[in-house]
Chain A
Amino acid sequence: MFSAASRQALQSFRATNFPCLRIHQHCIYLSRSLSTLVILEQQEGKLNNASLSAVTAAQKLGGSVTGFVAGSNIKSIAEEIAKVDGLEKVISVENVAYDRGLPENFAPLLAQNIKDGGYTHVFAPSSAFGKNVMPRVAALLDVQQISDITEVQSEDTFVRTIYAGNAVLTVQSSDPIKILTVRGTSFAAAPIGNGSAAIEDGVDPKAEALTQWVSEDLTKSDRPDLATAGRVVSGGRGLKSKEEFDRVMVPLADALGAAIGASRAAVDSGFADNSLQVGQTGKNVAPELYLCAGISGAIQHLAGMKDSKVIAAINKDPEAPIFQVADVGLVGDLFDKVPELTEKLKK
């Protein structure tokens, strides 16, 4: 093993002389010193679950894994992260300026810490935060990011989907630093265990936030989080109105202890909030059970749910494409079938 100082030297050597990564005889020597930074997302003192999937993805590489978190009162979250098994170190930056994840100051913060730490890989969740901030980081570091990966094949080869999940792309990066965002449903969340990673203060370049955060309006709900729920019930255009959506779908969700999702058509028609949209341009879900009603199964919708373990569909159109992927399909009027199902599930 290398001493900390020589490892540091090696890392900075690699950062400035990245072409050596391509020289084969050096690969084994270098692969021992893969060093990964995982960006963990926090909102108001709560750790985002999708971040823990990014930790799992990072651990697939081997090599050392360091966590990174920033915001106000960050110590307690840093301590929570330090318990995640397999993390060697947690870097925390205490500054209220990072609470809202504004990319104009968050990206320079990350770029600086990535450069200073000599990391070879950076993993972040493919959440709204990760999507917003990481490409900006990649641009600052002159790196071509790889978005929403579903598999880690080797230190430079990763798998992701393209064309709304209709094709699976395996891609190899020649960048000196690999910047990756991770599809949460493709990797289990790393458990918060009994680890005791060292917590260190990161560098704070204090870049100016050009954008001002004004307000937020989040959908309050006691339901499980859509992206990570074990069961999801989802409604589409067939629900006809917001009132009907709430009347029919909410009791079913309650009976199953499920999160509620919706198709784009239902969201666009105002039946459900945008944050509940499942699909290519909404959320990717992969629950144990995905039960949908009044959803035809357009390719953009299938992109967001076809990795679910069991898919059940209720639709009055026997030709609806959803039946081609559903493990169990019921042809019928959802306004009869869903309440009947809800009643029978309650028993």
Chain B
Amino acid sequence: MSAKLRILVPVKRVIDYAIKPRVNKAGTSVETAGVKHSMNPFDELSVEEAVRIRERKKASVDDILAFSAGPAKSADVLRTAMAMGADRSMLLEHDPEKEGGELEPLAVAKVLKAIVEKENRNLVILGKQSIDDDSSQTGQMLAGLLGWSQATQASKVEFDGESVNVVREVDGGVETVKANLPMVITTDLRLNEPRYASLPNIMKAKKKEMKKITLQELGVDATKRLKTVKVAEPAPRKGGGKVEDVDGLIGKLKELGAI
């Protein structure tokens, strides 16, 4: 491919996927203090894919820039991204506790648009959703704001001359779409198997650049559009106990009117 790839991989710090979140007593949010956080699993796939694109050498990669917006501790997920192979990173500090909740997807998309323009990016790879908010919007919004092609829920990305072929997970199977750069891709779980950062790479990542940036510098208005009325625990579901054998199972299902 003649155009050199300048990749942006936005990553988000979220409560670790294996943790069962608890709603706080005030019913205003999920308890985050003292809870294990890590990189959003879909974003690990984005970083991995960016690094693999470089390794496969089908396309020439100029650089891979990781970005995160969130509390100061988001620096940790950027370090992880750099240990996996991102060249440098940018952090927009935004503390949800102090600033009335986290940035909404539309605001993040606007921030990313500003970064794309400032850093002259031509490929953005995002996770298809963050596992905390579950909105699944940012990539599509960014593509819309930029007027770029989008390929969401990608399970395969292949460079073919000037164009990119992307296999997308859709209802009922997969579809393949083809687009030219610049474009936005969002990752599906089946895209790849993210690598573990090795200790030497973690050490090297400490020397890589992490630039701090602010909303003001980017000139982005992040006024919230949504107000949280409340956050509640879902209606509990209690198990109905166990049966001894298959006949017991069938009997219980009949009793419950399920068969």
Contact = CB atoms under 8 A, between A and B. Distances in A.
Interface of A: 100, 102-104, 107, 127-129, 131-140, 142-148, 157, 160-175, 210-219, 227, 231, 256, 264, 267-268, 273-275, 280-281, 283, 288-289, 299-300, 306, 309-312, 314, 318, 323-332, 337, 340-341, 344-345
A275 B169 contact: yes
A146 B228 CA distance: 12
A332 to B, nearest CB: 8
B230 A328 contact: no
B33 interface: no
A54 B245 CA distance: 41
Which residue of A142, A328, A345 has the most chain B CB atoms within 10 A of its CB atom? A328
18 contacts: A103-B143, A104-B143, A131-B152, A136-B144, A139-B145, A145-B137, A147-B135, A168-B231, A169-B230, A170-B229, A171-B226, A171-B229, A215-B175, A215-B176, A216-B175, A275-B169, A281-B189, A337-B246
A215 B176 CA distance: 5
A142 B144 CA distance: 10
A268 B229 CA distance: 38
Nearest to A171: B226
B106 A264 contact: no
Given A129-B170, A328-B252, 10 more contacts: A131-B152, A134-B140, A157-B229, A167-B232, A168-B232, A170-B231, A306-B234, A328-B249, A332-B245, A337-B246
Contacts of B57: none
A128 B170 contact: yes
Interface stretch (B14-22, B87-95, B114-122, B210-218): B14-22
B225 A139 contact: no
**What are the nearest 4 A-B pairs in CB distance?**
A139-B144, A135-B140, A144-B225, A218-B173
A135 B141 contact: yes
Nearest to A101: B170
Interface string B135-164: 111111111110011111101000000000
Interface in B174-199: 174-180, 183, 188-190
A310 B253 contact: yes
B177 A147 contact: no
B74 interface: no
A162 B150 contact: no
Q: Give the secondary structure class of B's interface.
A: mixed
Contacts of B152: 103, 131-132
Nearest to B255: A328
Contacts of B56: none
Categorize the interface residue count of chain B: 35 or more
B133 interface: yes
B242 A144 contact: no
Contact of B259 (A127, A135, A289): A289
A327 B252 contact: yes
Contacts of B109: 139
Contact of A219 (B172, B226, B248, B252): B172
Contacts of A231: 258
Contacts of A328: 240-243, 249, 252-253, 256
A163 B131 contact: yes
A216 B173 contact: yes
Given A138-B106, A143-B225, A323 B150 contact: no
Nearest to A343: B246
B239 A323 contact: yes
B203 interface: no
B134 A162 contact: yes
A312 B168 CA distance: 32
B145 to A, nearest CB: 5
Given A139-B144, A211-B150, A312-B249, A324 B239 contact: yes
A341 B227 contact: no
B248 A330 contact: yes
Which residue of A162, A164, A299, A300 has the most chain B CB atoms within 10 A of its CB atom? A162
